[in-house]
Structure 1
């Protein structure tokens, strides 16, 4: 019975090692990026300067539950999903 256990352990151990490496190499960094993006979106305030995923630069005019309105020019407003915000620029 001891030999069977060792054989099973030798077969399962590499698979477990691959799963652990995949978690720390791919899954965990993605979770951290998602947390950072969610914090950025949740902390947006009127007057913040942002960049959308499409490369549009604008200033936050108002925020809703799922949307954000940006001033992108003189009296030009665009409404985006909050998920379309890529980054916040320094004021």
Structure 2
């Protein structure tokens, strides 16, 4: 019966109520720590790397878009990149959709 009282969150008679409130916060803090190190921190690191990739983008780079389109950068604007996907065929892509820079000819 004592175990059931702890599982229900009600302190048994004679137990200190202040300590149980603090003990209820410990698992929440622990779970936040796990989420931070397994989900939030790696996502922030990847976003920072992607911003650095976009800032270093220059004319002549061979890139791959998020949709899988391969092309060569012919012009860069503030938010738009013009890619040459075939000889004489240029398309405009939002700068944020550039996924990676590849080796020329790849």
> C-alpha distance in 1, partners of 2:28/2:36?
12
* Structure 1 equivalent of residue 81 of structure 2: 68
1:54 CA displacement = 1.1
Structure with the larger RCO, 1 or 2 (CA within 8 Å, 6+ apart): 1
* Structure 1 equivalent of residue 42 of structure 2: 29
1:22-77 deviation line (CA, Å, top 9, x unaligned): 11111111111111111111110001000011111111101000000011111110
* Structure 2 equivalent of residue 79 of structure 1: 92
- TM-score using structure 1 length: 0.91
1:5 CA displacement = 3.7
How many positions carry a matched residue from both structures? 89
1:7 CA displacement = 1.7
Corresponding residue to 1:10 among 20, 23, 28: 23
| Secondary structure at 1:65 match in 2 | coil
Alignment of 1:39-78 (within 5 A): 39-78=52-91
> C-alpha distance in 1, partners of 2:68/2:96?
13
> C-alpha distance in 2, partners of 1:40/1:46?
13
> C-alpha distance in 2, partners of 1:5/1:90?
62
Higher strand share: 1
